[in-house]
């Protein structure tokens, strides 16, 4: 594919213009255009290898085979999630790099059960902090969020500025029925726990059975892990 311009050329282009250019496209067309405009080494891809991760990974791999996929291993994942990661990696030929939290801080969250008493800080230590050094090397971050999943996600556009990085949501306006259609059409395997009533899967202590994301952080007002909403973004310098 011919790359029209690099991200550096586009650094002064507004988020509004990017949304105008990309919103009319279908999800895979957005990805194709992204890799025409932006250098691969400045594009960050992360995956939780949850129940809805496979479709985005499939499309990314079709557009840019060999794109590095970062997996944040909090040390609290279900064994089924780790097995699913290995399965998808083999089936799709993914280049997956594991990121882990600082051992001492991770051990403290385990010893004091911070997922119960300090869930946001537990996420900050085990999910947000390991990714920070990687984020600093990238300019744009591909995310698989979809509007139908939560009220917060329903307010997002294809492109959003989050701190010092631009978030790109190629699937944001995909309806649930469309997602299921493309998931099945491309022969993608389900997460092993999806058939057991888990609509969304994160760490073991903060995930219960439930439709959609209703099983995440039950009994609290938390709806996101900190990678997406604004309270954990990296602040600008100056």
Q: Any idea which residues carry the catalytic annotation?
A: 225
The sign one gets for the Cα dihedral 155, 159, 160, 166 is positive
Q: In whole angstroms, give the CA distance from residue 66 to residue 61.
A: 7
Burial pattern 165-204, b for ≥16 Cβ within 10 A else e, equals bbbbbbbbbbeeebbeebbeeeebeebbbbeeebbbbbbe
Show Cβ contacts of residue 159 under 8 Å, excluding neighbours closer than 6 positions. 15, 18, 19, 22, 166, 167, 168, 169
Q: Contact, 95 vs 68, CB < 8 A?
A: yes
Token pair belonging to 26: 């279908």
- Write the CA distances from 33 to 7, 39, 80, 99, 183, integer angstroms: 12, 11, 34, 28, 22
Strand partners, 165: 162
């Amino acid at each position: 594919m011919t790359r029209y311009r690099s991200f550096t050329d586009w650094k002064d282009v507004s988020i509004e213009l990017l949304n105008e250019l990309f919103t009319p496209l279908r999800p895979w067309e957005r990805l194709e255009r992204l890799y025409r405009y932006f250098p691969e080494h400045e594009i960050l891809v992360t995956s939780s290898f949850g129940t809805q991760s496979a479709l985005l990974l499939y499309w990314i791999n079709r557009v840019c085979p060999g794109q590095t996929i970062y997996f944040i291993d909090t040390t609290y994942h279900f064994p089924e999630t780790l097995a699913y990661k290995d399965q998808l990696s083999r089936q799709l030929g993914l280049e997956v790099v594991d990121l882990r939290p600082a051992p001492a801080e991770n051990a403290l969250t385990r010893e004091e059960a911070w997922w119960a008493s300090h869930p946001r800080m537990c996420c900050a230590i085990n999910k947000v902090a390991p990714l920070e050094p990687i984020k600093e090397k990238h300019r744009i971050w591909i995310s698989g969020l979809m509007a139908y999943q939560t009220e917060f996600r329903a307010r997002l556009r294809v492109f959003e500025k989050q701190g010092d990085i631009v978030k790109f949501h190629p699937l944001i306006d995909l309806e649930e029925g469309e997602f299921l259609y493309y998931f099945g059409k491309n022969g993608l395997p389900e997460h092993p726990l999806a058939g057991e009533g888990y609509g969304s899967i994160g760490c073991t202590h903060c995930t219960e059975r439930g439709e959609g994301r209703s099983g995440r952080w039950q009994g609290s007002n938390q709806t996101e892990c900190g990678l997406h909403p604004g309270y954990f973004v990296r602040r600008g310098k100056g």
